[in-house]
Amino acid sequence: MKNKLPLYPTLLMVCLFVVCGTNYLIAQNISNFIEIKGTVVDETSRNHLVFTDLVIKGTNISTVTNMDGEFLLKVPTNHIDGMVIISHLGYEKKEIEISSLKGKVKITLKQAITTLDAVNLIARPSNAKELVLETLRKKGALYNNDNTLMTAFYRETIKKRRKNASLSEAVVKIHKQPYTNYRKDNIELVKARKNTNYNRLDTLALKLQGGPFSNLYTDLVKYPEFIFTEEDIDDYEFSFGESTNINKKLVYVVNFKQSSFIRDPLYFGKLYIDASTLALTNAVYSLNVENKELSSQMFVRKKPRKVDVHPTKANYRVNYRIQNGKWHYAYSNILLSFKVNWKGKLFNSIYTLNSEMAVTDWEIHESKFAKLKDQMLRPSTIMSDQASGFSDPEFWGEYNIIEPEKSIENAIAKIQKQLKKP
């Protein structure tokens, strides 16, 4: 195999383990805010729209809809007379007065019609691969080049088949380095909670190594080396798909996949590139896991001898958002599925790991970042157990979070019942 950097989330497979809890809770002053809850749907089909951006106009405060198209947006009281901007790839942007959003609201978005006129057809690059290379080369001009302190919400779940076995949630501060330098970003932990049902994991437990860093490394503009660089980009085939748009701006769609003569597991998917600036606005891609042995080596760091483990699915998404003419990392999602076979046992187990991180606010940091060693996470971090936060309905305070989908709501309710038991 090529000596390529390991995939963002590296799995550590071990026998049953116990982790001592660490209290990450940091005291904070909770300011006044109002909550807006609702759903974003397609105006015609009424299908729920997943990963829709909601931003308070004139600010960097934002959230994103969950897998059920639902959202929860916490609006500071000094912005309740403002507007919220709702945008989704392939749909027309909508602005709504915050004061009009009462109760549980349903917001509809209209699909945007994308047409390539003669000018656009002439202007579109003829070579999809060269377009991708140009996009990566222009990151210094298109993306935020200041030290940026981002507030983000992170959620990580592990399921055995359809049953939740572990749930982790955290508010973090991302110390985002300028896109023009090669320094790695740092992550500061503000507060977190986690609960794991070890009985549901039987005699095998999975630790997702990396935590929020796994999602941060999906930022292809900052970390292109995890997918392709100018040295190995020839291992891929690129082609144009049907164009789309975001906020009435034309977006090129570039399909990519590994060349047929490449044996190593590489990636395939779609890149969404703004036609006017050539900025990467979104990326949706997967790892080719057809070669079980080689793809397993990319994930499994350690496992019992009597266990065979291989990935059956590895899907990734990253979304960017533009503010004041500069793009920045806004949201990412990772979905991994593994089949675990115990030698001598008739049935296998299916484990699904899902992690997502959404930037909910950010500000330019004029000076260099100061590293707070006690609160900084490492890229090899495994979130420790701290279940007490689930008993407090006001645990997140003023921080915006990703609204939990139904299955996660049920898992939280069960955890709360367990904590109430004497």
Among 26-35, 161-170, 306-315, the least confident range: 26-35
Place of tokens 């490492």: 378
Q: What is the pLDDT of residue 161?
A: 82
Nearest Cα residue to 330 out of 369, 355, 361, 286: 361
Read off the pLDDT of each residue in 359-383 and give the average, rounded to a whole number.
75
Among 283-287, 354-358, 378-382, the least confident range: 378-382
Task: Tell me the C-alpha distance between 267 and 288, whole Å.
Answer: 6
Q: What is the pLDDT of residue 30?
A: 44
Read off the pLDDT of each residue in 82-108 and give the average, rounded to a whole number.
94
- pLDDT higher than 90, residue 346: no
- pLDDT higher than 60, residue 3: no
- pLDDT higher than 90, residue 73: yes
Per-residue pLDDT of 156-171, as tens digits, reads 998 888 888 889 999 9
- pLDDT higher than 60, residue 16: no
pLDDT band at 272 (very low <50, low <70, confident <90, very high): very high
pLDDT band at 206 (very low <50, low <70, confident <90, very high): low
In the sheet that holds 94-97, the strands lie side by side as 62-64, 53-56, 83-87, 94-97
Read off the pLDDT of each residue in 165-178 and give the average, rounded to a whole number.
92
* Residues counted in the chain: 422
- pLDDT higher than 50, residue 118: no
Listed ranges 1-5, 38-42, 143-147, 377-381; the one with the highest mean pLDDT: 38-42
- pLDDT higher than 60, residue 266: yes
Read off the pLDDT of each residue in 49-71 and give the average, rounded to a whole number.
96
Q: What is the pLDDT of residue 17?
A: 35
β-pair partners for 308 = 341
Place of tokens 């390529």: 4
CB atoms within 10 A of CB 169: 24
Q: What is the pLDDT of residue 20?
A: 33
Q: What is the pLDDT of residue 106?
A: 96
**Which carries the bigger pLDDT value, residue 24 or residue 87?**
87
pLDDT band at 391 (very low <50, low <70, confident <90, very high): confident
Is the sign of the CA dihedral 44, 49, 53, 55 positive or negative?
A: positive
**Mean pLDDT for the chain overall:** 84
pLDDT band at 404 (very low <50, low <70, confident <90, very high): very high
- pLDDT higher than 70, residue 386: no
Q: Say if CB 362 and CB 60 are below 8 A apart.
A: yes
Distances (CA, A) of 274 to 74, 87, 246, 372, 412: 30, 15, 8, 37, 39
pLDDT band at 76 (very low <50, low <70, confident <90, very high): very high
Task: Tell me the C-alpha distance between 405 and 226, whole Å.
Answer: 30
pLDDT band at 26 (very low <50, low <70, confident <90, very high): very low
pLDDT band at 7 (very low <50, low <70, confident <90, very high): very low
Q: What is the pLDDT of residue 245?
A: 87
- pLDDT higher than 70, residue 6: no
Read off the pLDDT of each residue in 246-264 and give the average, rounded to a whole number.
90
Read off the pLDDT of each residue in 95-114 and give the average, rounded to a whole number.
91
- pLDDT higher than 70, residue 291: yes
Q: What is the chain's alpha carbon radius of gyration, rounded to the nearest angstrom?
A: 22
Q: What is the pLDDT of residue 371?
A: 60
Task: Tell me the C-alpha distance between 57 and 302, whole Å.
Answer: 47
- pLDDT higher than 60, residue 120: no
Question: Strands 249-258 and 236-240: what pairing?
Answer: antiparallel
Q: What is the pLDDT of residue 316?
A: 96
Q: What is the pLDDT of residue 255?
A: 97
Task: Tell me the C-alpha distance between 254 and 283, whole Å.
Answer: 10
Q: Is the pTM of this model over 0.85?
A: yes
Those residues whose C-beta lies under 8 Å from the C-beta of residue 172, and which sit 6 or more positions away, are 151, 152, 153, 154, 187, 188, 189, 190, 212, 357, 377
Listed ranges 54-63, 179-188, 221-230; the one with the highest mean pLDDT: 54-63
Q: Say if CB 268 and CB 258 are below 8 A apart.
A: yes
- pLDDT higher than 80, residue 198: no
